[in-house]
């Protein structure tokens, strides 16, 4: 949660904003006791070894094999050397 979504903090209460997709994605303010807010927030912290990296493009799982074949062919060929005139 970014800081801009936290609208008010009094020490005992936290008011934050979220999108309510059940009602068309409108923004809603919700107020919780600080301890309850922290409890809900820490549920979203992944465990130490949990992999949260998502791959897109060449590293995407669905196309990795196709791109690997292409890159293997390219890397097998000798690099092109641009010879500069002396």
Give pLDDT tens digits for 31-60: 999 999 999 999 988 888 887 776 777 777
Q: Band of the pLDDT at 19, cuts 50, 70, 90? A: very high
Comparing C-alpha atoms, which of 15, 17, 20 is closest to residue 31? 15
- Reported for 21-26, long-range contacts at CB under 8 A and 24+ positions apart, including other chains, are none
Q: According to the model, what pLDDT value does residue 79 have?
A: 61
Distance from C-alpha of 14 to C-alpha of 35, rounded to nearest angstrom: 9
DSSP string, 2-18: -GGGEEEE-SSEEEEEE
Q: Is the pTM of this model over 0.95?
A: no
């Amino acid at each position: 949660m970014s800081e801009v979504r936290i609208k008010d903090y009094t020490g005992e209460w936290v008011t934050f904003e979220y999108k309510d997709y059940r009602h068309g994605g409108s923004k809603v303010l919700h107020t919780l006791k600080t301890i309850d807010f922290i409890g809900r927030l820490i549920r979203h912290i992944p465990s130490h070894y949990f992999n949260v990296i998502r791959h897109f493009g060449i590293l995407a799982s669905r196309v990795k094999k196709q791109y690997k074949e292409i890159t293997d062919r390219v890397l097998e060929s000798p690099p092109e050397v641009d010879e500069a005139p002396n």
